[in-house]
Amino acid sequence: MTDETIEPAGAEEAAPETFILIDGRLLPAADQPPESELQGAFRATAKGKISVHMPTAREIARDMVRQARADRFKAVDDLRNQALDEDDVALRARVKAKARELKDAPADPRIDAATTPAGLLAAVEAVIAEMQADL
């Protein structure tokens, strides 16, 4: 005979619970909102729940837009140089308009109009998609 132990079916060890530190409090990570991109805006409520502070989330969203536009600025600069080299007035006008659009993207009114974290992330996706559009 051997000293084998047979575990009953379904007797697997439960995974240890993980926690997230918010406002100096450890709260169950399972309770965090699904919008993890906005984690810097998470706040602990008086009842020990996790909420999203929308003013902070909007600033995070603007930073997301700023990061996404960095590569587009380089592409616009390259096109601006091409337009100058070729003395292409129409291309210069399109480049100028695109540069203005990129500059103004973090101030897009859809970011301020969003009232939920999911709506805010949808607004960010829409703004970034428009920025990625070709000239």
Query: Among residues 62, 42, 61, 43, which one has the least CA distance to residue 106?
Result: 62
pTM of the entire structure?
A: 0.77
* Domain boundaries defined on the chain: 19-52, 54-132
User: Token pair for residue 59?
Assistant: 């600033």
Tokens standing for residue 62: 């603007």
pLDDT tens digits for 14-62? 667 898 889 889 888 888 888 889 999 999 998 888 999 999 999 999 9
Query: What pLDDT, on a 0 to 100 scale, did the predictor assign at position 9?
Result: 58
pLDDT score for 34: 85
Q: For residue 46, what is the DSSP state?
A: T
> Which CA distances in Å does 109 have to 17, 81, 85, 104?
40, 31, 36, 10
CB 105 within 8 A of CB 86: no
Instruction: Report pLDDT for 14.
Output: 66
Tens digits of residue pLDDT in 115-131: 999 999 999 999 999 99
Give bridge partners of residue 21 from the DSSP assignment: 26
How much is the pLDDT for 109? 98
